[in-house]
Structure 1
Amino acid sequence: MNQKPLIFPVEKLETATPSAFTLHFTEDDIGIITIDVPDEKVNTLKAEFVHQVSQILHQAQQHPKLKGLIFVSGKKDSFIAGADISMISRCTQASEAEELAKKGQTVMAQIAGLKVPVVAAIHGACLGGGLELALACNSRICSLDDKTQLGLPEVQLGLLPGSGGTQRLPRLIGAPKALDMMLTGRSIRAKQALRMGLVDDAVPQSILLQTAIERVNKGRISKRVLPCQARLAQGPLGKTLLFHFVRKQTRAKSKGHYPATEKIIDVVQTGLTQGSGSGYQAEARAFGELVMTPQSEALRGLFFASTALKKDLGAEASPREIHNVAVLGGGLMGGGIASVTATKAGVPVRIKDINQQGISHAFKTSWDLLQGKVKRGHLKRAEQQRQMMLISGTTDYSGFRQVDLVVEAVFEDLELKQKMIREVEENAAQQTIFASNTSSLPIHEIARGAARPEQVIGLHYFSPVDKMPLVEVIPHAHTSAETIATTVAFARKQGKTAIVVGDSAGFYVNRILAPYINEAARCLLEGESIEHIDNALVNFGFPVGPLQLLDEVGIDVGTKIIPILETAYGERFAPPPGLDAVLKDDRKGRKNGKGFYLYADKGQKAKKKQADSSIYKLLNLTPKNKQAESDIADRCVALMLNEAVRCLDDGTVRNARDADIGAVFGIGFPPFLGGPMRYIDSLGADRVVKKLQALQRQYGERFAPCDALLTRAAEGQKLYS
């Protein structure tokens, strides 16, 4: 290898604000453009960068013997994480957002139009506008690091790539794969990017720049030849079939709730059938229109809420570092908690169970999850072994003196949990935090009798732990600020979104979920079919219907919470009479293969989800769908909205932001609506009150609008002030 990456600086650009782009040259005339946004942890693209990039490209072209250019990041673990979303949200009309897109297209066109080779040397996140910049380059090299991911996630914000991505990506990797990336918003890793032709090489980070320099020395690479299947899709018949199939498949998934998906298909089709000039125009126009949609506004609201929550530890205190964790109970929840502790947080975890069988079960949970990553190529076998070595097991309290945090995941029995606290306090260190993964029992009751109640807290995970992103952190009146902050920080380290909620029956998520599921059960007992009820809520925007969700959670678990809520809050939480027949028939849902739906026996291939018709005989009814889907959805959702406002009013959730995040991340409230609070604001409290009052007249007092809603309706107040 002859090329040495010796670098000589060039004078910095004179700008009113520090530039995010600096230019240096190697000794043999290759320009290195370093992207480093001042005072930011990661690089994001901003409107003012259009001028800065133009300046730096102009300056580079003045170099008399310029061989080529390389874009690199000055940040440790990211290339460019995307565009600055606040810049987009400041647009007040579609034309402003369209102009933003056109400026982005212009600067990418400047990069693409350079006569010399231009290489993107990618390490870390290369997302959204970052990938669009890389696509404008003549070649792309990425590091093999796990932090390196490439994607166009704009659809998750109700948008599409607006700086040329919808046109360049299909031409580079073929329309089928490009559409899949844009419509799902999924990120891909280095080796997959190399296989699909998104990057030209993937190398260790240590030689990333050197490899990029070698690529420049080879000159501009010729246009890549697409695989046969992708070329067929570019032909007249192929395009017709492809876009017909993709539209049909996308509409079935989106239910018409996400206009960005339709726009992405339209814009890609325009570019491939009418040429890239028309495609760029369509892209900018569609981007402007999408920024103004209520769906994008709601999704961007969730993005900002999640970002703000990452800086909120729930208490004015500095968190302690967690070096060692223990989990009590090797069941489904305990095994899942141990797994995310080792694999996500990278913290050693010790599982205690009453017998070796429970420990083995927990080990298997982690092994199976890691094995799945190995099979998908997301994890090396050596790394699987290393992560498994972080997990140990015991049937006694050996090793607990070194533990900073104990997560209890035993049965929902108050006396048992109180006993666990006493035993941990006897066998662990003075500073050890005790966190109870309870879904229903008040934390202050669990902490009663504790020698150190200030170190007792609730940490409510959702099942399955490895997939569900939310946890509820529940302090009681005497939990210390340090315990709260430490627990929130640790949950984030596990990859979870943590909201701090009040120590009341059902906490927040289960409290708003219970009336929703109760109402679905009432519809069933009135004669509506299982599929009709679930379809009503799926078409409203939930990922699964309420009866399927009950099967997934466990019918026995779900119904155990209802009496606690009824005792605490009264008649509105009373379950519909007759539903107890389901439990008496030992129907627990998926976990015992017997619930509202049919489940394949072990070893058999799962069939399409089908309701278990025998449940109708059990409930002594003949299903006849009399109610419209919209009426069923109105009934179930109205109760959830009403209860969510009660939770905000009585302090169970701290603010509207936490309420929305809890509902979206905890139970799949439709993201395109932004959460129950943002949805109420979009409808208007007065309209929600009128709907509840109409349902109250038809179905009873459980629909009576709460005082907080009545007040806001009367005064025209919003939940987001």
Structure 2
Amino acid sequence: MRRGRDGSRHDRGARMSTVTSTLTGTVLMEDATTGISLSVHDGVATVRYDQPNSPVNTLNTRVGPVFEQIFARIEQDASIVGAMLVSGKADTWIAGADIDELRRVTTPMEGEALSRGGQQLLNRLAAMSKPFIAAIHGAALGGGLEIALACRYRIATDHPKTILALPEVQLGLLPGAGGTQRLPRTVGLQAALDMILTGKNIRAKKAWQMGIVHELVHPSILLEVVAKRVHALARGESTPVRARAHGASAVLLEDNAIGRKIVFRQARETVLKKTRGQYPAPLAAIEAIQAGYLHGQEAGLLEEARSFGDLAVSEVSRELVSIFFATTALKKDNGLPEGEHADPVRVRKIGVLGAGFMGAGIATVAVQAGTIVRMKDASLERVAAGSCAVRDVLRERVKRRQLTRLQMDDTLALVGSTIDYSGFANVDLVIEAVFEDLAVKHEVLREVEAVAPRAIFASNTSTIPIRDIATAAGRPDQVVGMHFFSPVHKMPLLEVIVTPETSAQTTATVVAYGKQIGKTVIVVRDGPGFYVNRILAPYINESGKLLDEGASIDAVDEALVAFGFPVGPITLLDEVGLDIAGKSGPIMAAAFGERMRPSATLQRVIESGRLGRKAKRGFYRYDEQGKRQGVDQGVYALTPASGSRITVAVEEMQRRTVLPMLNEAVRCLEDGIIRSPRDGDIGAVFGIGFPPFRGGPFRFLDALGAATVVAQLDALNARYPGRYEPAALLRAMAASGARFHP
């Protein structure tokens, strides 16, 4: 038990997902179109937002006039002493702007007008003479948080689903309804910059500590406490306000013009270092915040609205919004062909074969989703190491205050380890992450079918076709691929690989479970490399061939980071492990011939015994802690060019590595490996870090134009025969002028 901020006592472990209240009132206004209503009980007005036909509340141009009428009614009605704003949804408050409406903005002027309208509405709310309290349960995101900041007082529930954020930069935008002005004045400049420039989620307790909200209460008493606070504020009584903490750095840097200038300069430098100027929204947000500090809030609001208009029609925002809609659509996708349906089996318990890096990672995401996990390996030492790896990830979350120690202990209790198949009889799904050897996978598949008669068997292989694994199965309809990406607890993508024999129910079950553990799931058809590794292979190979010709390791990496990848291709090889790359290269070359032939440099480096970062020795040197120390100059002696280095233009390196990736993505669509350009874009962005601001391979192809890409591929293929031949589908689209996306 613990004492609430209001003085009441309640169980900290209680997890109610809905707000309950005995408050009743007389309905004064109700708008069926928007779902906004006004009722009054004991002098307190309740403004309830429950958007019809929507799982969440969003903000659009239709709600503004309704709120204006309600604000006026509250001000004019002498019987009303104050008001609260509540949500009619179970687990969300207000989830931000209606993105569909933003997509319809076609000019900067339209975007600016949209922003100014939101600002004026919230200025009206902030100027209310009667106290208005935000009663927050669930997600208050974007415009939702901006509304809360305009309220005089904010009370939130201490529930896991209560999170607050201004995530607009993730869509290439900035907060457009006053957030760049109100948040810094609420929590301080540095804390506000951190929230606005990253779009990070802030959990309820942290929001209270920062001063975003004034009080935390249990969901069951939220409305009761809010009603009391409305009366107290109306009487002019003091309330338990949580003042913003002013540390020494805040006093030195934020409370004087010179210090703020330093903060803004450092913020710009940090943004440019991370984004290389490819994402304009964070820089625009800094400008708007600074304008407010230099020239007053109204000047800051004008700059915010102007920038919002420019950003709303920018190519970067369009591409980021397209990714948002694609991932939203995938959340509703059952993984089956259009029109086909199968009821997924509920997965309560899984078995994980292999307690190594990948197996432990899979176990980690599974237990965090509440799944019981039985993890098996050949020795006690290995399963112990796997269990420690799970614990280490959870400890890090405790350190970051994302979990309590009690929650960590409860989660760890879901993991059981074994060196035999005890506990596997009742599992719903078995995921194997054993050694990449077909004979080994056949052996464990036969063993699993014998001890777990109803379990789906999923392989985490990244190189071996699922149909080859399924040849050993007695139930091939229940064999599927689940290709996770490393590290599993951080990488968002899951490739589900199906064969012609995989049943609809197996596919639907695995897709549903992938979503349950928090992954963005794409379904791909079986084939060498599946989708993500198949398009990655020519990109890596061509990077290696640049080294064959004498290009510098760091120059190749820098060129592709400048293009927008999070790390360069040579760094990626070191991170993944050269031994793993060495296994996949011959498989891809055997399947696809010259265009997938590994570079001589990569083959020689692998043969030299270098494994990459995990062995402290690869293309780069690493210290004992695994921190990179620079290029290992000894690698150059292994290249066909020996010690001599040449300078290759950045644009040339980008064309030679990226264009074959784009071309291979089109071949995957042509071959039916992926179901749609949408899936191809999401797979590349979430699986290998294809630059999000470019939208994915297919949206980038549309931006370049198929005819332009074919001409560039033909020119390269004339220089390097067999490696750049354009896909037949791409040639056809170049001739017709067609696009992959409308």
- Describe the SS at the equivalent of 1:491: helix
Distance in 2 separating the partners of 1:235 and 1:136: 25
Distance in 1 separating the partners of 2:115 and 2:94: 17
Question: RMSD value over aligned CA atoms?
Answer: 1.9
Note if contact 1:598-1:610 (Cα within 8 Å) is conserved in structure 2: yes
| Residue type of the alignment partner of 2:397 | K
1:531 deviation in Å?
Answer: 1.3
**Worse-matched range after superposition: 58-67 or 437-446:** 58-67
Calculate percent identity across the aligned residue pairs: 46
Which residue matches 1:306?
327
- Describe the SS at the equivalent of 2:397: helix
Q: Structure 1 212/600 Cα, relative in aligned 2: closer, same or farther at 3 Å?
A: farther
Distance in 2 separating the partners of 1:331 and 1:197: 43
Which residue matches 2:286?
265
- Describe the SS at the equivalent of 1:507: coil
Moved over 4 A (4+): 1-6, 220-226, 606-609
**Worse-matched range after superposition: 291-300 or 562-571:** 562-571
Which residue matches 1:594?
617
Which residue matches 1:573?
596
Note if contact 2:187-2:244 (Cα within 8 Å) is conserved in structure 1: no
Note if contact 1:172-1:226 (Cα within 8 Å) is conserved in structure 2: no
| Residue type of the alignment partner of 1:31 | A
- Describe the SS at the equivalent of 1:402: coil
Residue correspondences, number: 714
| Correspondences of 1:380-395 after superposition (within 5 Å) | 380-395=404-419
- Describe the SS at the equivalent of 2:320: helix
- Describe the SS at the equivalent of 1:570: helix
Q: Which runs of 5+ in 1 are unaligned?
A: none
Note if contact 1:7-1:25 (Cα within 8 Å) is conserved in structure 2: no
1:233 deviation in Å?
Answer: 2.1
| Residue type of the alignment partner of 2:599 | P
1:470 deviation in Å?
Answer: 0.5
Note if contact 1:5-1:213 (Cα within 8 Å) is conserved in structure 2: no
Which residue matches 2:349?
324
**Correspondence 1:639 to 2:660:** yes
**Correspondence 1:189 to 2:203:** yes
1:217 deviation in Å?
Answer: 3.2
Which residue matches 2:360?
335
Distance in 1 separating the partners of 2:385 and 2:482: 22
Distance in 1 separating the partners of 2:577 and 2:135: 48
1:234 deviation in Å?
Answer: 4.5
Match of 1:25 among 33, 37, 40: 40
Q: Structure 1 200/716 Cα, relative in aligned 2: closer, same or farther at 3 Å?
A: same
Distance in 2 separating the partners of 1:223 and 1:576: 61
**Correspondence 1:449 to 2:472:** yes
Distance in 1 separating the partners of 2:646 and 2:79: 76
- TM-score w.r.t. length of structure 2: 0.93
Note if contact 1:23-1:60 (Cα within 8 Å) is conserved in structure 2: no
**Correspondence 1:409 to 2:433:** yes
Q: Structure 1 109/615 Cα, relative in aligned 2: closer, same or farther at 3 Å?
A: same
| Correspondences of 1:215-294 after superposition (within 5 Å) | 215-219=229-233, 227=246, 229-231=249-251, 232-294=253-315
1:625 deviation in Å?
Answer: 4.7
**Correspondence 1:629 to 2:650:** yes
1:235 deviation in Å?
Answer: 2.2
Match of 2:378 among 347, 354, 360: 354
Q: Structure 1 586/214 Cα, relative in aligned 2: closer, same or farther at 3 Å?
A: farther
**Correspondence 1:75 to 2:95:** no
Which residue matches 2:636?
616
| Residue type of the alignment partner of 2:310 | E
| Residue type of the alignment partner of 1:13 | M
Distance in 2 separating the partners of 1:380 and 1:426: 40
Which residue matches 2:586?
563
Distance in 1 separating the partners of 2:231 and 2:629: 56
**Worse-matched range after superposition: 573-582 or 120-129:** 573-582
Distance in 2 separating the partners of 1:450 and 1:717: 43
Which residue matches 1:517?
540
Distance in 2 separating the partners of 1:532 and 1:215: 61
Note if contact 1:81-1:130 (Cα within 8 Å) is conserved in structure 2: yes
Q: Structure 1 566/235 Cα, relative in aligned 2: closer, same or farther at 3 Å?
A: same
Note if contact 1:331-1:358 (Cα within 8 Å) is conserved in structure 2: yes
- Describe the SS at the equivalent of 2:621: coil
Q: Structure 1 120/62 Cα, relative in aligned 2: closer, same or farther at 3 Å?
A: same
Distance in 1 separating the partners of 2:242 and 2:470: 67
- TM-score w.r.t. length of structure 1: 0.96
Note if contact 2:55-2:89 (Cα within 8 Å) is conserved in structure 1: yes
| Residue type of the alignment partner of 1:284 | A
Match of 2:102 among 61, 78, 88: 88
Note if contact 2:34-2:62 (Cα within 8 Å) is conserved in structure 1: no
Q: Which runs of 5+ in 2 are unaligned?
A: 1-5, 9-19
- Describe the SS at the equivalent of 1:147: coil
Which residue matches 1:682?
703
Match of 2:463 among 440, 445, 453: 440
| Residue type of the alignment partner of 1:227 | H
Q: Structure 1 5/650 Cα, relative in aligned 2: closer, same or farther at 3 Å?
A: closer
**Worse-matched range after superposition: 213-222 or 41-50:** 213-222
Match of 2:72 among 42, 58, 62: 58
Note if contact 1:21-1:56 (Cα within 8 Å) is conserved in structure 2: no
Encode CA deviations 1:344-374: one digit per residue, 9 max, x unaligned: x211010111111121111111100110111
Q: Structure 1 177/14 Cα, relative in aligned 2: closer, same or farther at 3 Å?
A: closer
Q: Structure 1 623/122 Cα, relative in aligned 2: closer, same or farther at 3 Å?
A: farther
